[in-house]
Structure 1
Amino acid sequence: MPDRPDLDDDDLCPVCGATGRHQVVGTPYRSCPTCGHHDAGERVESGAVVNHALWDEAPAISALEREQVRTLVRAGWRDQRLVDLGCGHGGFLHAVDVVRGLPPGSYGVEVSPASVEAARRWFGLELRPELSVDGIATVITTWHSAEHIPVPVLREALGAIDHPESLVVVSVPNAASWQWRLVGTRWTYYDVAAHRSQFTPASLDLLMHQAGWTCVARPRMVLYELFGALQSLVNTLRPHNRLYETLKRGRAGARRADLVGDSLLAALMVVPALLLAIGGLVSRDRASCVNAVYRRSQA
């Protein structure tokens, strides 16, 4: 980002350094007129979140985790060490281990104590509080975790990984998506309690370029698109993400009547959700998520 000592950091886009950001109505975000990035700065106090119900027994591998594994393999991962940034309860790393086998030295990065405990107890994974810089070829995955991390911290961490055979596979909510434009703050990926950023394809590519990476692929991820469309449409008539919170995170105090009602509404929304999802899958820059693969830039 360009150095502008004459301006306060809160006046500048943390990605491109542009001025003239405007407040996104009804949110803590400021939108950059140049790269489109939405940034909440310190108005979002903590980016950490526990994204799974922490039952006594480990959950089964989900359809989304299997799609993530397929995306990883298509991105070019073979036998490089794998690091999942913001790994949560470790479900993705466990899925890789079951489907393909984890290479030696692979680990997850997680800061939530509850998630760290679950990942170790359920799957016996190695977890660390931050990325290690040791010159080893590494494939870094970040499935909906980069938006939780302050932009300067993310830039510095990824910029330190410099092995030429390394890759970064990213998926983040897309502030330029049709879904965001259609439903606004009812969008399922709108999480004002934990998302410091809402990226756009332009702002993510620019941030990665600043860290020394070049985009080489934009994979389609069907389940992120379908889920985003369906839950967003349900959100227009029901409390925000209540169905998701109940089914995925084991929301405390959930009422059976609410679950039944939300599920019936979701069934009625399937057809319009499919149409909305198809739009995002066809126009990837307008998809609900920016999905991208990056390689180290050549000198």
Structure 2
Amino acid sequence: MNFLEKIKETARSQKKTIVLPEALEIRTLEATAAILKEEIANVILVGNKDEIMKLANGFDIEKATFIDPAASEHTEDFVQTFYEMRKAKGMTEEKAASTMLDPVFFGCMLVKKGLADGMVAGAIHSTADILRPALQIIKTAPGTKIVSTFFVMQVPNCEFGDNGTFVFADCALNIDPTAEEMAHIAISSANSYKALVGGDPAVAMLSFSTMGSASHEKVDKVVEATKIARELAPDLKLDGELQLDAAIVEKVGKQKSPNSEVAGKANVLIFPDINSGNIGYKLVQRLAKAEAYGPATQGLAKPVNDLSRGCSAADIVGTVAITAVQAQMQG
């Protein structure tokens, strides 16, 4: 069973409700039909049911829940809640009312109010258009200072990591995180590993240096990030700074960092910046023919995941499954 099938099975075991605000996009409707057929999650589609069904063109989405912001019994409450949340920043009741007609903002409020467990969007919206309302309405999880992204990488015929399975972070959102931010990304990524992959995370804070083999301010950042992460999560198996080979190859790890409980055994790889993270995951994806699942978002109080605008219906299905499992983990 590959990673995605395992995730779908987990999602089915405790079905969650995921809101899809881009209901007038045909890929969303094709995905909805598949999600309902496979019983991965309950689905809320945001918009006018007649318009959505007209567009569905044969896709069986009748078992979805349809909520139209222009006619919903929840809209007035959502408007007042959003106004109260944002009035200190200049929000007016009139602007709150118009904002709640936006399906993405409305979808985030469905999650905030507990009417949905998570949201997936981005097929026709930018990352900023998804994360801005998520941060304004759902906000970050308690104790987490930064929202970040991760990929689950599944490398075929690979002896490293968890039989070739890793979590890579952050490869898609934070360009140059501070040491404190990198520490929080590491802790969030360990939690994501436990939720989605299972087992015991072993977190490597990556650098071009291993345990002082090089001196540079970029190395200092990783050293400081490791120190902060250990203080915040003392029970987490985490070490750094480690070069990639020292992190995942046992022979090299023993040679370069013989006293480390992570070196040579890492399955969660934390990159020091988006340059190395983005290049790293794409190298593994293309050269090793790895499956890259993501980017998924972590650090929000409730899960919201952003799609690529070039995504397929199958990509949406997979992201919904991941979001549902994240919601299970967050309770």
TM-score normalised according to structure 1 size: 0.29
Could you say which structure has the larger radius of gyration? 2
TM-score normalised according to structure 2 size: 0.27
Q: Which of the pair has the greater relative contact order for Cα pairs under 8 Å at 6+ separation?
A: 2
Higher helix share: 2
